[in-house]
Amino acid sequence: MASLHLEHLTKTFGNQTVTRNVSLSVEDGAFCVFVGPSGCGKSTLLRLIAGLEEASSGRIMVADRDVTKVPAYDRDLAMVFQSYALYPHMTVRDNIAFSLRTAKRPEDEVAAKIAEAARILKLEDLLDRKPAQLSGGQRQRVAIGRAIVKQPKLFLFDEPLSNLDAELRVHMRVEIARLHRDLGTTVIYVTHDQVEAMTLATKIVVLRAGEVEQVGSPLQLFDDPDNIFVAGFIGSPQMNFFKAKHQGGRLFATDFPDQSCQAPALSAALAEGQDVTVGLRPQFMGLEGNASLELMIEVVEHLGSETLVHARPPGSAQMMTALVADGRNLAPGQAFVARFDPDRLMVFDATGKRLR
């Protein structure tokens, strides 16, 4: 178990900067998820921590030890790869034992640790099989087994669930969460799936174009995003955005100016005539609230316990999504008055920065 500190970490490939000046602290025992769209540099950041890429500048501290120049095999970390990367010529048992035998641990200790890992991951019956004889989920469990027997300072996971089908992904997500609770080892986990990030993390790092956009707990990022990117990236379904102009304490939608709503209370008042982007989460649009938007329903998705309503203001192409609890009577073509509390609105300036 260990903490992780990154100080001004930068990685360039040729003239392309993949991670830029990343500074970050992850406490001992945390489950930290790097999340962001494809190409945001999250996997590169993980590979820098692993030692599989060399940092162009900056420092990496694991358990207060500077490992920036230490090769991967000496960092005492374990990594689970997106593609599993099992040793195909070895049995499951030998795959799991490889790191222990590399470290020249006594064979009785190796056997005990394999048995323990097999018990935790339910691999007992598979120990003598080769990777080619395993299903995707079983291979993933072997890859995790290989990581846990090492008792590393940090677990690094590089999109470990992205090759699994939806059902197995949910199952493995729970398994990984349970494993983290039981072992208590610090985890650094990369994903592009914000649901995975929200459900697993104690701390989320949102990345875009190689830079950290915001760091916080899942609910912090959901409730209080710093900018329009984080607001849009975190939360499912995605936050609704529309352009608006501030006039007389009200926000007039640019695209459908016949509709307006009361501006939320902000610490610094909005200037008269200021152009802003307004964000409103689908979860906060429903049948109750002091403010409203008049919409025309285009598509209704009944999810069982709740209903996803895709609608747009009459005369506008701006699609909006509302997640309503009781929407069984809603149908396409109907008028729909989406009500909300104006304090739920988030306001972003022209640069995308949140105005609080």
Partner 1 sequence: MKPRLTLRWIVFAVAVFVMNFPVISTLVTAFKSPGEVSRNPSLWIETPTFENFATVLTTSDRLNIYNYLWNSTVAAGIGAVLPIVVAFPLAWAIVRRGVGRAILFPLVVNLRALPLIIFAIPIYMMFSVAGLLDTRLGLGLILAVVNLPLALMLLVNAVAEIPHEIEEAAHMDGARLPRLLFRIVLPLCRPALITTFIFGFITAWNEFLFGLMLTTSKAVPMTVGASFFFATSGGGVQWGVAAAVMVVAALPPLALGLVMYRRITGSLVAGAVKG
Displacement of CA 346 from its chain's centroid (Å): 21
Among 11, 20, 42, 139, binds partner 1 (CB under 8 A): 139
Q: Does 22 bind partner 1 (CB under 8 A)?
A: no
- Per residue, the 3-state secondary structure of the chain, as one string, reads CCCEEEEEEEEEECCEEEEEEEEEEECCCCEEEEECCCCCCHHHHHHHHHCCCCCCEEEEEECCEECCCCCHHHCCEEEECCCCCCCCCCCHHHHHHHHHHHCCCCHHHHHHHHHHHHHHCCCHHHCCCCHHHCCHHHHHHHHHHHHHCCCCCEEEEECCCCCCCHHHHHHHHHHHHHHHHHHCCEEEEEECCHHHHHHHCCEEEEEECCEEEEEECHHHHHHCCCEHHHHHHCCCCCCEEEEEEEECCEEEECCCCCCEEECCCCCCCCCCCCEEEEEECHHHCECCCCEEEEEEEEEEEECCCCEEEEEECCCCCCCEEEEECCCCCCCCCCEEEEEECHHHCEEECCCCEEEC
**86 counts as binding partner 1 under rule CB under 8 A:** yes
Q: By C-beta, is 138 or 316 nearer to partner 1?
A: 138
Task: Kindly state whether residue 150 participates in binding partner 1, applying the rule CB under 8 A.
Answer: yes
Among positions 155-214, residues that touch partner 1 (CB under 8 A) are 156, 163
Of 10, 21, 25, 82, the one binding partner 1 (CB under 8 A) is: 82
Where does this chain touch partner 1 (CB under 8 A) — which range of 12-20, 129-137, 172-180, 221-229? 129-137
- Please choose, out of 59-67, 81-89, 115-123, 181-189, the segment that lies near partner 1 by the rule CB under 8 A: 81-89
The reply on whether position 102 binds partner 1 by CB under 8 A is yes
Under the binding rule (CB under 8 A), the answer on residue 136 touching partner 1 is yes
Of 81 and 241, CB closest to partner 1 = 81
By CB under 8 A, name the one of 61, 63, 70, 85 that touches partner 1: 85
Task: Quote the CA–CA distance of 135 and 25 in Å, as a whole number.
Answer: 37
Shortest CB 128 distance to partner 1, Å: 14
Q: Name which position in 58, 131, 225, 282 contacts partner 1 (CB under 8 A).
A: 131
Determine if 134 is a binding residue for partner 1 (CB under 8 A).
yes
Q: Which is nearer to partner 1, 123 or 320 (CB)?
A: 123
Q: Give the nearer residue to partner 1 in terms of CB position, either 74 or 288.
A: 74
d(Cα 234, Cα 225) in Å, to the nearest integer? 8
Contact assessment for residue 251 and residue 54, using Cβ atoms and an 8 Å cutoff:
no
Taking CB under 8 A as the criterion, which residues in 39-78 touch partner 1? 50-52, 71-74, 77-78
Q: Within 10 Å of residue 5's Cβ, how many Cβ atoms?
A: 17
Cβ-proximal residues to 103 (8 Å cutoff; 6+ apart), any chain: none
> Is residue 83 part of the contact set for partner 1 (CB under 8 A)?
yes
Nearer to partner 1, 57 or 133 (CB): 133
Nearer to partner 1, 65 or 353 (CB): 65
84 lies in the site for partner 1, by CB under 8 A: yes
Residue type, 229: F
Minimum distance of partner 1 from residue 4's CB (angstroms): 16
Number of residues that bind partner 1 (CB under 8 A): 34
The tokens describing 67, both together, are 């490992």
Listed ranges 99-107, 111-119, 207-215, 311-319: which one lies at the site for partner 1 (CB under 8 A): 99-107
Interface with partner 1 (CB under 8 A) = 50-52, 71-74, 77-79, 81-89, 98-99, 102-103, 130-134, 136, 139, 146, 150, 156, 163
